[in-house]
Amino acid sequence: MPDERGTDAADEDARLALAPAPDHAAGVPAVLSALRHADAEMGPLRSVRALARINQHDGFDCPGCAWPDPADPHHAEFCENGAKAVAEEATRRRADRDFFAAHTVEELTAQSDYWLGKRGRLTEPMLLDAGADRYRPVSWEDALGIVAEELCGLATPDEAVFYTSGRTSNEAAFLYQLFVRAFGTNNLPDCSNLCHESSGVALTETIGVGKGSVSLADVEGADLIFVVGQNPGTNHPRMLSALERAKRRGARIVAVNPLREAGLQRFKNPQRPLGALGRGTQLADVFLQIRLGGDLALFKALNRLLLDAERLAPGTVLDRAFLYERCEGLGPLTRELDALDWDDVDAATGLAREEIEATARLAAGAERIVVCWAMGLTQHRHSVPTIREVVNFLLLRGMIGRPGAGLCPVRGHSNVQGDRTMGIYEKPDAGFLARLGSEFGFAPPTHHGHDVVEAIRAMRDGRAHVFLAMGGNFLMAAPDTDATAAALRRQRLTVHVSTKLNRSHLVTGRRALILPTLGRTERDRQDSGEQFVTVEDSMSAVHSSRGRLVPASAHLRSEVAIVCGLAQRVLDGDARVRVDWPRLAGDYDRIRERIARVIPGFEDFNERVRRPGGFVLPHAPRDRRRFTTPSGRAQLTVNELEPLELPEGRLLLQTLRSHDQYNTTIYGLNDRYRGVTAGRRVVFVNAADLTALGLADGDVVDLVSEWRDGVERRAERFRAVAYDTPRGCAAAYYPETNPLVPLDSTAVGSNTPTSKSVVVRLVPRA
C-alpha cells in the first residue's frame, strides 16, 4: 500500500535547484508567471475572458485570499497568485469518469499532491463503494440518498462532522449551518480553526469583536505600519500595492519576521511601468528578524518602552483620555510591564535591544499605527496572549477607532471571515441561535460542537462516523496527517464537495462520495435565472461575485443547490423547520432576505450588495470607539511570557507556503522568492546551526518532531538549505510537514494547531 501522504511519488525534486533569494517581489517575472499559468491551464481566449473579470464589480471575486478590493478596481485587479488561483479553477483539464475508471485509489494515492491537483475539474458525482478499488459515477439522487441514509442512521446528530473551507460563499454557508443545526448538531469546524481562530478569540476578549478594525484607506493612510508574522508577497500580494501607496504618503514600515521575505523588502509594481522595470519601492524601513514565537516578548518590550517614554514626557505618548474613558486594566498592565525581564526578551526575540528601542521610538512618535498579521502570530501555543499584547500596544496609543489606525488580521481565504459571520462556528452565541430559531421556527442545538482538532479526535475515537466537507482538502490542511488519516478511515462515509481532485478524496471512510460543485468563476443558473453570491473580505466589506465562465460540466451543482438538495433528503420535510429549500435554491435573493433577518448588519442586503463594491459591515470599535465587551470597555490585558526551552540539538520549525502554492493547492514546484526551483522537500536552516548539528548545506535529512506523547512523527527526505533565519529556527513547506504537527499541540484559548512552532531534530539520511 503506497504511503498515503504521497511521499513515494516519483521524486519531483530530482531537478531541485537553489539560488540566492531575491530582495524584491513582483515585477516582470510575476506578470510572466501569471500569464504562463493562465495559458497553460485555460488557453489564451479563456485566459483573457477570466482575467478581465477578477475582482471587477460585475465580475467574480478572486478565489484566493481575502485582501479587499479598491473602490475603483484597476482593469487588471489581480496579482500573480490570483491569476494562478483562477487558472487552477478555470482549467480545461478534466478528471472525468474515464479518468477514475483508469486509476485505482491506490494508484492515485501514490501520486504527489501537485500531480493530483493537475488532473483538472471534477465533472460528475463519484462514489467509492465499500471494498471497491476505484470511484464510479453515481447520480445526484443516489448520492444524496446515500448521505441521507448514513446521517439518519446515526445514533445522534453529534456523530456527524460538517467541515467548511473558506471558499464557501455566504449564501451556501448560511444554508449549510441552517441545515446542520436543523439536523441537530453544532459540529461545524472550519478552516478558521486552523488559521485566525487565535485572532478571533483575542479580539473578542479585548475589544468585543473578533474582526480587524481597519479599512483599505486606513492602511494606506497610516504613518506607521507593522507587518508581523506575515508574508504578503506570496499570501496577500495586492497588499503590496497598498503598502506602496502608504509609503508614497510618507509611511514607515516595520517588518517582523524570522525570514527576510522578498515581499517585505521591495516591491516592483507591475501595474506601473516604471514600477515593474525600475528598482521598485522599498517597503520595510525596519526589519526585525525575530525568532519564531518571539512576538509576545517583542510587543511587551515595546509597550514597556512606551510607558517609559510617557514617564519621561507625560501626555506625549499614551492617549490618556482614550485610556481613561474607553479602556480598563492599565494599572495591572503597568505593573506587569515594569517587572519585565529584559533577559527573557533578548532570549525570546533574538533581537538587539537597540532595534527594539528604535522601533519603540517610531511607535511613540507615530500618529496613525496599523498592525497587520497572519499565521506567524496565530499558530503558536501563546498566540492568544501575543495578539492581546498587540491590542495593548494599539490601545496605549489610542490607535483603535481612529482613521489610519487599527488592527489588521489578514485572512488567507477569500470568504473565511464571511463563513464565520454566516454562523459557521462550533461555539455559536445564544443571540444568533435565538434569531435563527425564531426565523425558521425550530430550536437550534445550544451545546458546543467540535472544532477541527476536536473533530479529528472524535472521528479517531469512534465518537463520530460521518464526515462531510464543503470544499477544502481536510486531510492535508489538518495537523498530524497520519492521525487525521486514521480518523477519516474510521468513518462510515466521507463526503467532499469539491471542484478538483485532492488527497482527501483518497483517504476515505468505508464509503466515499465526491460531489462536484461550480467554481467561483462559473455561471450559476437557477430557476429564477443567473445568480450571484456574496463574500466578506478581511476588512468586513461584503460584495457580490458573479461567475462569468461556462461551467466545466453540465453535471455540476452550485454549493447552494447541493446543500438544499441534501437538506431536503435528510430533513425530509421535517415540520419542525420552516424552510422551503427549493425556493431558496431557485433564487438567492430569497436566501439573502433570510440572512438580513438573522444576522445584524445585513439590513437591505439585496439592495446594498448590488451597489458597486457592496457595503461594509458595522464594527463598533472602528466606527464609534464603542467596545462590546462585558464591561463596555476595551480590555488592557496582562500576558505572561513563557520562555520556550529548546532542547540541545533541536530546532523550532515553522511550516509555510511556497510562492507557487495556495493553502494545500500546489500550483507549481518553484518558490521564486526564496530561490527554490523544481522542488519542495527543502528545509531552511541557519548555516551555523547546520554546522553545529554536523550537517552541511545540501545534506538530505528526515525531520522528526518531538512531543510529550512519545509518538515519532517523521517527514522524510528534505534537502537542508543554509538560509538567512535566526539561530534555532527552521522552515519548510506544508502540507509535506503537517505530519510533524502533533494533534494535541495547540494554542491555548483557540485550539489552533501550533504549525509555526514544532520542535524537530534533523536526522541525516544514509
**Residues within the interface to ligand SF4 (CB under 6 A):** 62, 64-65, 67, 78-79, 81-82, 85, 236-238
295-312 and 383-396 helices, crossing angle to 10°: 20
Sign of CA dihedral 714, 491, 478, 85: positive
Residue 734 CA to residue 716 CA, distance in Å, equals: 13
Q: Return the residue nearest ligand SF4 (CB atom).
A: 82
Residue 511 CA to residue 492 CA, distance in Å, equals: 6
Question: Reduced to 3 DSSP states, what percent helix, strand and coil does the chain have, rounded to the nearest 5?
Answer: 40, 20, 45
Nearer to ligand SF4, 420 or 594 (CB): 420
C-beta separation of 620 from 208 below 8 A: yes
Nearer to ligand SF4, 238 or 503 (CB): 238
C-beta separation of 608 from 615 below 8 A: yes
The minimum distance between CB 30 and ligand SF4, in angstroms, equals: 11
The residues facing 534 across adjacent strands are 544
Nearer to ligand SF4, 78 or 393 (CB): 78
Backbone φ, ψ for residue 450 (5° rounding): -95, 135
User: Taking the mean position of all CA atoms in its chain, how far away is CA 291?
Assistant: 22
- Single-letter code of the amino acid located at 265: Q
Tell which residue, 353, 395, 349, 394, has the closest CA to residue 372: 394
Sign of CA dihedral 354, 360, 366, 368: positive
C-beta separation of 650 from 761 below 8 A: yes
Give the HSE-up count for residue 314: Cα atoms under 13 Å, Cβ half-sphere.
0
C-beta separation of 683 from 633 below 8 A: no
- Single-letter code of the amino acid located at 685: V
Q: How many helices (H) and strands (E) does the chain have?
A: 31, 33
C-beta separation of 761 from 704 below 8 A: yes
C-beta separation of 738 from 754 below 8 A: no
The minimum distance between CB 240 and ligand SF4, in angstroms, equals: 9
C-beta separation of 497 from 517 below 8 A: yes
Nearer to ligand SF4, 82 or 428 (CB): 82
Residue 464 CA to residue 488 CA, distance in Å, equals: 10
Residues in the chain: 766
Residue 466 CA to residue 486 CA, distance in Å, equals: 14
Tell which residue, 29, 3, 8, has the closest CA to residue 717: 8
Sign of CA dihedral 564, 565, 570, 571: positive
Cis check: omega of the bond before 385, within 30 degrees of 0: no
Query: For 142-197, what is the HEC assignment?
Result: HHHHHHHHHHHCCCCHHHEEEEECCCCCHHHHHHHHHHHHHHCCCCCCEHHHHCCH
Sheet harboring 466-470: ordered strands across?
136-137, 126-128, 511-516, 493-498, 466-470, 160-164
Residue 558 CA to residue 140 CA, distance in Å, equals: 12
Backbone φ, ψ for residue 201 (5° rounding): -65, -50
Residue 279 CA to residue 272 CA, distance in Å, equals: 12
Residue 306 CA to residue 35 CA, distance in Å, equals: 48
- DSSP SS3 for 85: helix
Q: How far apart are the first and last CA of the chain?
A: 24
With the CA atoms of 17, 23, 25 and 26 taken in that order, what torsion angle do they form, in degrees rounded to the nearest 10? -80
C-beta separation of 627 from 326 below 8 A: yes
Helix (H) or strand (E) holding 687: helix 687-692
Residue 668 CA to residue 660 CA, distance in Å, equals: 5
- Single-letter code of the amino acid located at 392: N
Residue 353 CA to residue 2 CA, distance in Å, equals: 51
